[in-house]
Structure 1
Amino acid sequence: MVSRRAHLLEFAVLGLLHEGPTHGYDLRRRLNTALGPFRALSYGTLYPALKGLLGRGLIAETADVPGPTSKRPRVVYELTAAGKEHFADLVARADASSWEDDGFDVRFAFFARTEHDVRLRILEGRRSRLEEDLDRVRDASTRSRERLDAWTSALQQHGEEQAAREVRWLSELIDAERRHPTDPGPQP
């Protein structure tokens, strides 16, 4: 059975290769900088994932011409037609894993390649999940407030404020998505 993290890594690799061919080092760098859950991604995790994608025919590899400081050619990975089709299938899905903590950031990173109705379902699912969590945290906080020390209370308040900010942000994105479904996304 493949882990949730392995599925997210597959999705992210296919998404980045959808932007164009690249070599493993660049792929790892882009995963580490752009996608939160993969900040600590090692080559020992990436290369087996690439090998699996190669074995399934979703990506292909070619040797690049060695650079002036390199003695051997680098391997360049690119999507195959089957890989493009598989990524299109993955990006069209909107289930609970799309808005859970470990999957949302990865899915959000590829919203430019995601259809309007799928983006909207993911955003609404994420907001709903966070609102439920926020209600639960606020209830627990109210019940235990007098038993908490000042540091724990401050941490709990920080968590509530952080969740409330994300709910507001998601609401703004949802409103913008409803107003302008063909807009390329939020302004930076």
Structure 2
Amino acid sequence: MLELAVLALLSESPMHGYELRKRLNTVLGTFHRFSYGSLYPCLRKLAAESYVTADGPTAAGRLGGRSRVVYTLTAEGKERLAALLGEGGPSSWEDEMFGIRFAFFGKTDAAVRLRILEGRRGRLEERREKVRSALTRTRERFDSYTLELQRHGLESVEREVRWLTELIETERAQAPPTGVPPDMSAHTARPGATQPPAREDNGDGTPPTG
């Protein structure tokens, strides 16, 4: 999870650790709060695997008089990022991972985005049915506050299902027709079609004589 986020942010520009942590918290703070304790081990691991380079302190890498190591994505790191962004299996549908994948949907292939959205919706629909079933079975055993809390949870799930359905419909509407290259105009002539000859005139708009 953290590996994906770090590689995705470094694909935009090189950053030192302090700046990277700020960007992580800004982009992903809603879903997860990152700390230096988790970030720097991840950066060392990525550097050891040649996914990033760790450049020594420079004038541009100093902040508040302290030296900062600048991390840059390598060609291998770009390949690794592409592989991670191409994954759309069940792990991408879970609560925390889905939020992080969604934050980087702009870098994700359209087919993978749709697969993740549909998987996430299916997962929530299963959860919704379980909550409904639990409310029906245990309604008489809960006090009014506990019931209200469960209703609130159910409403949250239903709201996200509606939101996901809207996103899925938008993704499908934006997808190019199957088998048609996206750069082909709807008015492009079919192969082998005969084009009508260009009209000629006498230069004054009248048809030629003879």
Q: TM-score, normalised by structure 1?
A: 0.88
Q: Look up the match of 1:48.
A: 41
* C-alpha contact 1:66 1:73 (8 A) present in aligned 2: no
Shift of 1:64: 3.3
Q: Look up the match of 2:207.
A: none
Shift of 1:29: 1.3
Which string of whole-angstrom CA distances, capped at 9 and with x for unpartnered residues, describes residues 63-114 of structure 1? 2316786333311111000000100011011110011112100110110011
* Superposed counterparts of 1:21-60, under 5 Å: 21-35=14-28, 36-39=30-33, 41-60=34-53
* Superposed counterparts of 1:91-102, under 5 Å: 91-102=85-96
Q: Look up the match of 1:3.
A: none
Q: Which has the larger radius of gyration?
A: 2
Q: Look up the match of 1:4.
A: none
CA distance in 2, matches of 1:47, 1:94: 27
Superposition CA RMSD, Å: 1.6
Q: Look up the match of 2:191.
A: none
Task: Report which structure shows greater RCO (CA 8 Å, sep ≥6).
Answer: 1
Q: Look up the match of 1:186.
A: none
Out of 58, 73, 80, the residue aligned to residue 79 of structure 1 is 73
CA distance in 1, matches of 2:85, 2:159: 26
* C-alpha contact 1:104 1:126 (8 A) present in aligned 2: yes
Higher fraction of helix: 1
Change (3 A) 1:67 1:128: closer
* C-alpha contact 1:66 1:72 (8 A) present in aligned 2: no
Q: Look up the match of 2:130.
A: 136
Shift of 1:121: 0.3
Gap regions ≥5 residues in structure 1 = 1-7, 183-188
Between stretches 129-138 and 64-73, larger displacement belongs to 64-73
* C-alpha contact 1:65 1:74 (8 A) present in aligned 2: no
**Matched pairs, number:** 174
Percent of pairs identical after alignment? 54
Gap regions ≥5 residues in structure 2 = 177-210
CA distance in 1, matches of 2:71, 2:61: 17
CA distance in 2, matches of 1:69, 1:77: 15
CA distance in 2, matches of 1:154, 1:161: 10
